[in-house]
Amino acid sequence: MDNSRFRTRAVHAGHEVDPGTGAHAVPIYQTSTFGYGDADRGERLFAGKEQGYFYSRLGNPTVRAFEEKLASLEGTEDAVAFASGMGALSALSLTLLEPGNEVAFLGPLYGGSEGFFRHILAKFGVTVWEAENLQDLQARLTPRVRMVYVETPTNPTLRISDLREVARLAHRVGALAVADNTFSTPYLTRPAEHGVDMVLHSATKYLGGHGDAIGGVVTGHADLMAEIRVTGLRHVGASLGPQEAYLFLRGMKTLPLRMDAHCEGALQVARHFAQHPAIRRVFYPGLPDHEGHEVAARQMAQFGGMVSFDLRGGYDSAKIFLDHLQLFVQAVSLGDVESLSCHPASTTHQLLGAETLARQGVTPGLARLSVGIEDPADLIEDLERALEHVEAVAR
Ligand SMILES: *Cc1c(COP(=O)(O)O)cnc(C)c1O
């Protein structure tokens, strides 16, 4: 089973026909607690001397199937699921960091993640700093750094980090390399293959794929996962519910098919608008002029489903553009089968402040598109129409 190919594992990994009932789909074990029989067994379960389910905050069979499927797809030893991507990040951080530690990251990051690092971790004596690039990271890394954190591609400018280099630099000072793989999914990039120690996902996005559930997951070496399960899950408690786990299991079966469609649509959109007069710049790692194109071509199977446009005329243009899209629904989040659009500077990244936004290239004219699986020709027509409104006002 584990030797089978990605598409086969997407369908089969993590579950088999239920031995008790023959159920073909993974049952939703909608239960908070599990009768453990006798007092002695209760003692053994709580002490970790025997493996088994006893309380759904710490483990649930539907959630477990999701963890196993994700670990199989990422090629890692184990995984721990959480109620959201942010729940996963906070549990991971509270498990592994202590006062005096430093966290280094390559930005820009998802606004919520950067906010958690800067505003929450700082309160607990953890110093967080942003490296401008790999050279800067290398120059500033010391053994005080416990974690080097990257997203690839990043949100929303689709900057690419060379995962092999990040892992190598982190390991030189004894730090853990952690990658948020939400934008790529394991179908396009498997960071563990490049030496990354832990991979994090907002399952809310492509893993679920249908915009109907919030969840997160961390995956990596078994010993790290055991630590995160015991500390981060047990004591932080952002546990994934069985209904959501069921939806993620269902979504992941079609992950490769959906990603093929997302990537094809995004590439067509990026190419079509690369030279448009209303657009200053199209950000897409699949375009040869993208600064991360070569690294992306090496570490991604395809270039993903996210495209950003930096419109001439700043916020006024971005607003007209977004307000005139019909197929692209204006909403945060991404990775749904439906196309979505948003204005990062005023929504997801608003809290970061003007100075950080300017440095990270999250300009007032930047519009982010999550290209869905609709026919790319319809999406391109929709985008063309909205851009005509921008040009009509600019004239
Ligand atoms: C959405 C997102 C998160 C946060 O995940 P939630 O499930 O919303 O908590 C983290 N990282 C990235 C890259 C995201 O897109």
Structure tokens that stand for 292 in this block: 């991360």
Distance of CA 182 from the midpoint of ligand 1 (Å) = 7
pLDDT at 166: 98
85 lines ligand 1 (CB under 6 A): yes
Catalytic residue among 64, 149, 162, 180: 180
* Averaged pLDDT, 21-37: 96
Give tens-digit pLDDT for 339-376: 999 999 888 888 777 888 888 788 999 999 999 999 99
Q: What torsion do the CA atoms of 271, 273, 277, 278 make, to the nearest 10 degrees?
A: -150
Whether 1 shows a pLDDT value over 70: the answer reads: no
- Give the nearest ligand 1 atom to 154 CA: 13
Q: Hey, which of 92, 154, 201, 204 would you mutate to test ligand 1's pocket, going by the most ligand atoms within 8 Å of its Cβ?
A: 204
* 167 Cβ neighbours under 8 A, 6+ residues apart: 177, 194, 195, 196, 197
Query: Which fold, 6-252?
Result: Aspartate Aminotransferase; domain 2 (3.40.640)
The residues spanned by each domain of the chain are: 6-252, 255-394
The rounded distance, in Å, linking the Cα atoms of 327 and 325 is 6
180 is catalytic: yes
Query: Which ligand 1 atom minimizes the distance to the CA of 151?
Result: 13
Give the span between the Cα atoms of 18 and 34, in whole angstroms.
18
Ligand 1 proximity of 216 Cβ (cutoff 6 Å) = yes
Q: Hey, which residues does 220 pair with through a beta bridge?
A: 78, 198
Span 164-209, pLDDT tens digits: 999 999 999 999 999 999 999 999 999 999 999 999 999 999 999 9
Amino acid sitting at position 37: G
> Which amino acid residue places its CA nearest to atom 2 of ligand 1?
202
The 8-class DSSP code of residue 229 comes to: I
Task: Report the share of the chain in percent with pLDDT over 70.
Answer: 99
Q: What is the pLDDT of residue 244?
A: 98
40 is catalytic: no
Q: Where are the alpha helices (DSSP H) in the chain?
A: 6-12, 39-47, 61-74, 85-96, 111-115, 134-140, 163-172, 185-188, 222-227, 242-253, 255-273, 293-299, 314-323, 354-359, 376-394
Instruction: Quote the ligand 1 centre to 155 CA distance (angstroms).
Output: 10
Catalytic site includes residue 253: no
Going by alpha carbons, the residue nearest to atom 5 of ligand 1 is 85
Is residue 315 flagged as an active site residue?
Answer: no
Give Cα separations from 259 to 65, 69, 156, 341, 373 (angstroms): 22, 17, 18, 18, 8
CATH topology for 255-394 is: Aspartate Aminotransferase, domain 1 (3.90.1150)
> Measured from the CB, is residue 90 less than 6 Å from ligand 1?
no
**Whether the bond into 186 is cis, omega within 30 of 0:** no
